[in-house]
């Protein structure tokens, strides 16, 4: 934990996507002090014709959903949102104005971790 699911428009290079994965992982470490070993990031690419933003079909965007174990402060969550937007801008050249983040707080009893245990059973 944390788990990030990132939706972006198709068309970025493999190098840009690799950079995005690394920068998002580091953004989580830097903003909420999560251990790198616990971070998972998945990119999903969406065809341009399947996206509409503010009435504009095919508008560039990124949508990041972040699953966290409950308990982080509002300040830490704000730091995470900012860090993820900045990392996306740095890796893809996509303005932070076009990055949205949704945080899902999950009770430790409802999050599975390594070994098939709940996060609570693992002491988190």
Q: Which residues are catalytic?
A: 2
Tokens representing 17 are 């996507």
Name the percent of the chain in helix, strand, coil, to the closest 5.
45, 30, 25
Tokens representing 107 are 């009770």
CB atoms < 10 A from the CB of 82, how many? 14
Phi, psi of 103 (to 5 degrees): -105, 130
Specify the 3-state DSSP secondary structure of 124. coil
């Amino acid at each position: 934990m944390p788990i990030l699911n990132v939706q972006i428009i198709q068309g970025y290079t493999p190098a840009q996507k690799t950079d995005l994965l690394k920068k998002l992982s580091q953004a989580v470490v830097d903003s909420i002090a999560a251990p790198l070993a616990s971070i998972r990031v998945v990119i999903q690419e969406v065809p341009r014709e399947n996206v509409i933003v503010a009435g504009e079909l095919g508008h560039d965007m990124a949508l990041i959903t972040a699953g966290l174990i409950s308990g982080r402060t509002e300040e830490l969550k704000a730091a995470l949102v900012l860090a993820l937007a900045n990392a996306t801008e740095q890796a893809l050249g996509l303005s932070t104005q076009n990055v949205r983040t949704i945080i899902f707080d999950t009770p430790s009893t409802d999050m599975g971790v390594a070994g098939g245990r709940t996060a609570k059973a693992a002491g988190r």
